[in-house]
């Protein structure tokens, strides 16, 4: 698939078919992740690729399996989500947080080695490792798209990352930025409408 086509086609999918992904394709996808730009030339990234359903069940046990209507309304208020399109995107995505990863063919946990306290950086460069792993994550999304699959992701809330460390046994100095689910989109999978933004409105030639 041509690059611009993959960029255009990549969309977050949260409704997956029950279909395994061949290991060699997973390897190609993760290898694309490993070729992302890196801040320190080390690419000290690891990827835990979980296919075993019992491990997935255990890993996701801490993630809420749904949300009541009242809690959803409260969340929209607490997060100050007043835009109606944004609200409907959250109404679609929040209830699926557990199921989307449960139904994905594979759950991938990307890991970066974090030498400083990521929540209290002294300066922006202390976040370079974190920025780099997100480049790797985008490569994984684009490669998955090019292979005919789709991705979803969840940023861990509360103690979900500590819990994942216990379940998966990764070392203490590795940090998990998100859960990734990869799978074949269901035929009727929702694709959430995004804002239509004209590039001409966002480019500032020479100065703002
Ligand atoms: C940094 C980041 C954090 C995100 N966190 C979540 C999340 O916790 N749960 C989720 O379902 N989607 C999450 N998403 C996916 C976004 O909801 C999605 O990318 C956005 O709606 C744009 O849609 P698109 O990916 O289809 O273009 C996250 C995306 C990014 C880049």
Q: What angle do CA 64, 114, 154 make, to 5 degrees?
A: 25
- Are 133 and 155 in contact by the 8 Å Cβ rule? The answer is no
Ligand 1 atom closest to Cα of 93?
11
Task: For residue 207, tell me if it sits in a domain.
Answer: no
Task: For residue 174, tell me if it sits in a domain.
Answer: yes
Protein residues whose CB sits closer than 6 Å to any atom of ligand 1: 11-12, 89, 93, 97, 152-155, 192, 194
Task: Say if residue 1's pLDDT is above 80.
Answer: no
**CA 139 – CA 54 distance, rounded (Å):** 28
What average pLDDT score do residues 127-151 get? Answer: 97
Task: Say if residue 110's pLDDT is above 80.
Answer: yes
* Domain enclosing residue 39, as ranges: 3-202
Total of domains in the chain: 1
pLDDT per position as a tens digit, 154-167: 999 999 999 999 99
pLDDT of the residue at 115? 85
Task: For residue 208, tell me if it sits in a domain.
Answer: no
Residues paired with 153 in a beta bridge: 180
Q: What is the CATH number of the domain that holds 49?
A: 3.40.109.10
pLDDT per position as a tens digit, 19-47: 999 999 999 999 999 999 999 999 999 99
Between the CA of 85 and the centroid of ligand 1 the distance, in Å, is: 14
Task: For residue 183, tell me if it sits in a domain.
Answer: yes
């Amino acid at each position: 698939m041509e690059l611009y086509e993959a960029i255009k086609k990549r969309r977050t999918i949260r409704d997956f078919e029950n279909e395994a992904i061949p290991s060699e394709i997973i390897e190609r996808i993760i290898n694309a992740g490993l070729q992302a730009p890196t801040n320190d030339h080390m690419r000290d990234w690891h990827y835990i690729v979980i296919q075993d359903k019992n491990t997935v069940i255990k890993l996701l046990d801490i993630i809420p399996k749904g949300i009541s209507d009242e809690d959803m309304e409260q969340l929209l208020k607490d997060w100050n989500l007043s835009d109606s399109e944004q609200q409907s995107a959250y109404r679609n995505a929040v209830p699926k947080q557990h199921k989307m990863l449960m139904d994905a063919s594979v759950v991938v946990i990307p890991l970066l080695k974090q030498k400083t306290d990521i929540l209290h950086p002294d300066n922006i460069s202390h976040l370079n490792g974190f920025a780099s792993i997100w480049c790797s994550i985008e490569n994984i999304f684009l490669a998955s798209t090019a292979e005919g699959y789709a991705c979803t992701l969840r940023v861990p809330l509360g103690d979900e990352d500590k819990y994942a460390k216990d379940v998966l046994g990764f070392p203490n100095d590795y940090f998990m930025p998100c859960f990734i689910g990869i799978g074949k989109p269901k035929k009727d999978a929702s694709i959430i409408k995004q804002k239509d933004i004209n590039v001409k409105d966002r480019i500032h030639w020479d100065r703002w």
